[in-house]
């Protein structure tokens, strides 16, 4: 259902480096790019994540309550993404671990612009 998600940035080059390194952890790479926009995906037929300079020219702001969730296939990948995000200068919003019932395993972090992300898997 979701085709792509974009996150506004005020630090285009730093954000690009952050996501190049972070998303490489799950095999994603750049597949679309311009001077205002970069999108990463594991496949052109799968949903992608992008950064963008806002079209209106105003500063990017963080949406309170907005979060992008990255689905992976193992708790080891959840752990790796969380660790990499913190190594790259992101901030912790919730250490990796099980959440609730049903095998939901997740970690939460913010990128350099303060956007909130989550990495999760089902069944650990």
What pLDDT, on the 0 to 100 scale, is given for residue 124?
66
pLDDT in tens, 72-111: 999 999 999 999 999 999 999 999 999 988 899 999 999 9
Backbone φ, ψ for residue 106 (5° rounding)? -150, 165
Burial 19-54 (b: 16+ CB within 10 A, else e): beebbebbebeeeeeeeeebbbbeeeeeebbbbbbe
Confidence (pTM): 0.89
Which residue has 């095998």 as its token pair?
Answer: 103
pLDDT in tens, 16-66: 999 999 999 999 999 999 999 999 999 989 999 999 999 999 999 988 889
Domains delineated in the chain: 4-55+66-122 (3.10.180.10)
């Amino acid at each position: 259902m979701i085709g792509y998600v974009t996150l506004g940035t005020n630090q285009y080059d730093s954000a690009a480096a952050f996501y190049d390194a972070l998303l490489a952890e799950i095999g994603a790479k750049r597949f679309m790019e311009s001077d205002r926009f970069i999108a990463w995906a594991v496949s052109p037929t799968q949903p992608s994540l992008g950064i963008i300079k806002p079209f209106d020219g105003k500063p990017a702001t963080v949406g309170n309550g907005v979060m992008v969730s990255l689905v992976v296939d193992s708790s080891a990948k959840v752990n790796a993404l969380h660790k990499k995000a913190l190594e790259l200068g992101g901030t912790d919003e919730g250490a990796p671990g099980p959440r609730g019932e049903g095998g939901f395993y997740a970690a939460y972090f913010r990128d350099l612009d303060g956007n909130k992300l989550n990495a999760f898997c089902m069944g650990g």
